[in-house]
Amino acid sequence: MSRYASLTRDQLATLVPELLLIGQLIDRSGMAWCIGAFGREGMAQVAIEEWMGSSPIYTRRMQQALRYEGDDVVTIFKGLQLDIGAPPQFMDFRYTVHDRWHGEFHLDHCGALMDVEPMGEEYVRSMCHDIEDPTFDATAVATNPRAQIRPLHRPPRVPADRNPHCAWTVIIDESYPEVFESADCTALRSSKAALTELAPIDGADDGQADYSGPLLSDFDFAAFSHSALVRIADEVCLQMHLLNLAFLRAVDRRTEADQYLEIATKQLVGIAGIAAERIRNALELPADEAGALRVLELHPLLNPAAYVAATVDGELAVSHGPAHEDGAWIALCGPDRLAPLQAVVRAVDPYLDVEVTGSTEDWTARVVRRDVPAPEAGEVAVTRFSGGSTFTFQPRKSIPLTVV
């Protein structure tokens, strides 16, 4: 059973957008260390490879889970609304549908741009040109290999305060050359994450069970059933794991073992702390040992339950499972690798710590209280550079989008 099933429908409607935003912030953690190791151009190439390697797989999974499979522009837009690459409001996509094969979108607010603009025009071009061009098409390939996403305008912004931040056309045409998935994507299709089977959505549950109806201006999380939201939460966590696995492949081919482990761990520590803080705040969990255990139970590090073998009952017990076989985040935790777990519990309360016993893949963690607060990990502070760390979601009214 999913660990998210223990939450109420209202709690899930609050948490799922948080999980989407957390997925976006993985790069705010990981790419900082890639810049140091590989430079700006090397960082950009890692980003291209990770998104191209993961997004076609998880996009297709979400289509199947929520029954909106298709080959048209509407299907592409629905997928973007449930993609960690485009978390709601932080990446404020606004959609226009002309017909099945023609559409546009623009971003009224791009949180990623707000993070990168202070770094200078070269970094903006790396993100908005070098990275976006191949990765947008790679995302679309999950729906139609002859889809092309092309800019009407994009940053660097001229004038400097230009709004919307960018605008793009989406056109599907049989005359366009077919786009093929990357070698990394093909390799990741055999990963345990890609093959993880989750419980189907219960159609008898109160609320909307799928997204087969009209495209909405904003995905209305509160309209969906408890069962659907549980499935979405688990799928979003798998998106994160697949993105991380593609990231690790890209880093691995550029490093030796020690540097690979260093970058992989720093990325995890940074996102682990920020994710824990956002989960705890969103669900208003207590700042004590019980609250820290609950945050661990709901953290993407340990979800979905079908992928990460663990139990939480007064303490966290982890055993060998599919995620270990993939070399996923949980493989970077254990008796001799405390930093990611410490980042999680200290985000709840800096006086908290973990004591871990056991072997590399089968271990138990107890949350304990220290007499002196621990400083925030440097990796978490680096990730906090992103405006996404403090971003606040606002209430939105969702309306159907019709052909114009």
As a whole number, mean pLDDT of residues 49-61 equals: 97
Same domain, 167 and 290: no
Residue 404: pLDDT band with limits 50, 70, 90: low
Per-residue pLDDT at 141:
87
Yes or no: say if 264 and 80 are a contact pair by the CB < 8 Å rule. no
CB burial class (10 A; 0-12, 13-18, 19+) of residue 148?
A: middle
Residue 402 lies in a domain: no
Q: Which residue has 């059933």 as its token pair?
A: 225
Residue 64 lies in a domain: yes
Q: Which residue has 């990770």 as its token pair?
A: 50
| Exposure on the CB side of residue 341, measured as CA atoms within 13 A | 27
- Give Cβ neighbours of residue 141 (< 8 Å, ≥ 6 apart): 56, 147, 179, 180, 181
Residue 240 lies in a domain: no
Residue 323 lies in a domain: yes
Residue 351 lies in a domain: yes
Strand order in the sheet with 102-110: 91-99, 102-110, 166-172, 147-153
Same domain, 270 and 159: no
Distance CA 364, CA 131 (A): 40
Three-state secondary-structure class, residue 316: strand
Residue 248 lies in a domain: no
Residue 251 lies in a domain: no
Q: For residue 151, give the amino acid letter.
A: P
**The token pair that represents 194 in the structure block:** 């890609």
Per-residue pLDDT at 397:
77
Per-residue pLDDT at 401:
72
Per-residue pLDDT at 135:
93
Query: Tens digits of per-residue pLDDT, 167-203?
Result: 999 999 999 999 999 999 999 999 999 999 999 999 9
As a whole number, mean pLDDT of residues 347-369 equals: 98
Q: Which residue has 């220290």 as its token pair?
A: 370
Of all residues in the chain, what percent are helix, strand and coil, respectively (each to 5)?
A: 50, 15, 35
The DSSP symbol for 129 reads I
Same domain, 38 and 153: yes
Same domain, 188 and 286: no
Same domain, 350 and 220: no
Residue 14 lies in a domain: yes
pLDDT at 9 over 90: yes
Please list the residues that pair with 353 across neighbouring strands.
Answer: 368
> Torsion-angle region of residue 240: left (phi > 0), alpha (psi -120 to 50) or beta?
alpha
| Number of structural domains in the chain | 2
Average pLDDT score over the chain = 96
**The token pair that represents 105 in the structure block:** 């979108």
Three-state secondary-structure class, residue 392: coil
- Give Cβ neighbours of residue 228 (< 8 Å, ≥ 6 apart): 66, 201, 205, 207, 208, 209, 210
Select from 219, 234, 249 the last residue of a domain: 234
Same domain, 209 and 314: no
Same domain, 275 and 230: no
Same domain, 73 and 188: yes
pLDDT at 78 over 80: yes
Same domain, 162 and 225: yes
Q: Which residue has 């492949």 as its token pair?
A: 249
The answer to whether the bond into 164 is cis (omega within 30° of 0) is yes
Same domain, 179 and 90: yes
Distance CA 59, CA 148 (A): 16
Go through the chain and tell me how many residues it has. 404
Select from 234, 269, 292 the last residue of a domain: 234
Same domain, 81 and 221: yes
Q: Which residue has 């979405």 as its token pair?
A: 232
Q: Pick from 121, 112, 93: which is nearest to 51 by CA?
A: 112
Same domain, 180 and 44: yes
SS3 of 138-155? HHHCCCCCCEEEEEEECC
Query: Tens digits of per-residue pLDDT, 292-333?
Result: 999 999 999 999 999 999 999 999 999 999 999 999 999 999
Residue 395: pLDDT band with limits 50, 70, 90: confident
- Domain hosting 228: range is 3-234
pLDDT at 265 over 90: yes
Query: Tens digits of per-residue pLDDT, 114-172?
Result: 999 999 999 999 999 999 999 998 888 899 999 999 999 999 999 888 999 999 999 99
pLDDT at 96 over 70: yes
Select from 179, 201, 234 the last residue of a domain: 234
